[in-house]
Structure 1
Amino acid sequence: MFQIDSTLISEEILENDFVCNLNACKGACCIEGSSGAPLTEDELPILEQIYTAVTPYLREEGKKAIAEQGVFVKGMDGEWETPLVNGEECAYVAFSDDGIAKCGIEEAYNDGKIDWKKPVSCHLYPVRTRAYTEFTAVNYHKWTICDPACALGEELKVPIYKFVKDALIRKFGTTWYAELEKVAEQHLNK
């Protein structure tokens, strides 16, 4: 671990490679697991504001789940998250013609309907952050469904921190990311 400002960062995000391989995994991170995407307090009113613009991008099952549960829910751990369809995939998932799970929020963003890309936790994946009283932990979340992404990242030689650069800048800022690049260069040249 190393520290930048009030963040403690796992060396794994420097040492491991990763590039999403949607053709291999079909967006499994949006449909696997037992909870929705983690949300920050700041994201809750945004989801409420954009929901009408996002609705046309969602499946009927997703719209029904959101109508019943709300645009966000309190998870079993007491944290805010996106609702699920029948306890499975994220309610905001839409599927492409070739069966790949896509984010309905991000599709609306890509079409210029909203100016918010998606929850930062999704944008950061496979990096997960956790705020504590004194610091925020920045860790690599390993999941076997992402093995194809690890293989593609290794083939293309793209470390995790570079793959999620835009998301890390969104979360922590450009100055923080520039410091991370310096730390990464020093660490990897040891």
Structure 2
Amino acid sequence: MILIDHTCISDDIEDQLFVCNLDKCKGACCVEGDSGAPLDEEEVAILDEIYPMVEPYLTDSGKKAIAEQGTSTKDWDGDFVTPIIDGKECAYAIYDENKILKCGIEAAYLDGKISYKKPISCHLYPIRVTKYDEFHALNYDRWSICSPACDFGKQLGVPVYKFLKEPLIRAYGTQWYDQLTHEIGEREEARANEKR
């Protein structure tokens, strides 16, 4: 593992190869699972604030779910999550012309309607962050629906931490990310020296 400031980063984030392949998975992470996307407490207020700008992008069933459940809700553990439609897809999910699930929040962001891209838990996936009092644990989440992304990552030779550069910087800052890449570079150099 790598320790930087108040974060503990699992080796998988360095070692695993991963690039989302939406043509293969069709955005399955927006529909699979037991609850909506995890939300930070501050994101609950953000979703309330931006909802009028996001609503026009959503499906009728998504709007109905949000009208009934709110712009966010709580799961069985009492954690904030996005609402879901009939126990399935996220209420903010939309289908494109190729029947690929995408994010209605992100669509509004890309159109310049809002400055918030999407929940950080979605942006960081397949990294899952567990927050403790003293530190954050960053772990790679293995999920069978992401096997096309693993295959694509291997094909392109892209590790998780490089694929997720933008959201990692969004979450922890440029200096933190630079430190991560430095630490990984030193580890790779040490391993290469051991083989000589």
Partner of 2:194: none
Instruction: Verify: 1:26 aligned to 2:26, yes or no.
Output: yes
CA apart distance, 1:75: 0.8
Aligned-partner Cα distance in 1 for 2:112–2:164 = 22
Find the structure with the greater CA-based Rg: 2
Match of 1:161 in 2: 161
Match of 2:175 in 1: 175
Matched, 1:6 2:11: no
Q: Once the 2 structures are TM-superposed, how far is the Cα of residue 185 of structure 1 from its aligned partner?
A: 1.0
TM-score by length of 2: 0.95
Q: CA RMSD in A?
A: 0.7
Quote how far apart the aligned CAs of 1:114 are.
0.7
Q: Which runs of 5+ in 2 are unaligned?
A: 192-196
Task: Give the structure 2 partner of residue 108 of structure 1.
Answer: 108
1:16-71 deviations in Å (ceiling 9; x for gaps): 11100000000000010111000001111110011010011100000000000000
> Aligned partners of 2:38, 2:161: CA distance in 1, in Å?
20
* Gap runs ≥5 in structure 1: none
Q: Secondary structure of the equivalent of 1:130?
A: strand
Aligned partners of 1:18 and 1:150 also within 8 Å: yes
CA contact (8 A) 1:15 1:188 kept: no
> What residue is the counterpart of 1:79 in the other structure?
79
Secondary structure of 2:113's counterpart equals: coil
> Corresponding residue for 1:52?
52
Taking structure 1 as the reference length, the TM-score comes to 0.98
Match of 2:99 in 1: 99
Structure 1 contact 2–8 (Cα < 8 Å) conserved: yes
For 1:153 and 1:97, the matched residues in 2 are separated by 25
Aligned length: 190
Q: Which amino acid aligns with 2:41?
A: E
Read off the aligned partner of 2:33 and give its amino acid letter: G
The whole-number CA distance in structure 2 between the counterparts of 1:113 and 1:6 is 34
Matches of 1:96 and 1:155, distance apart in 2? 26
Deviation at 1:168, TM superposition (A): 0.4
Q: Which amino acid aligns with 1:123?
A: H
Deviations 1:117-149 (A, max 9, x none): 000000001011011011100010110000000
- SS of aligned partner of 1:34: coil
Runs of 4+ in 1 over 3 A off after TM superposition: none
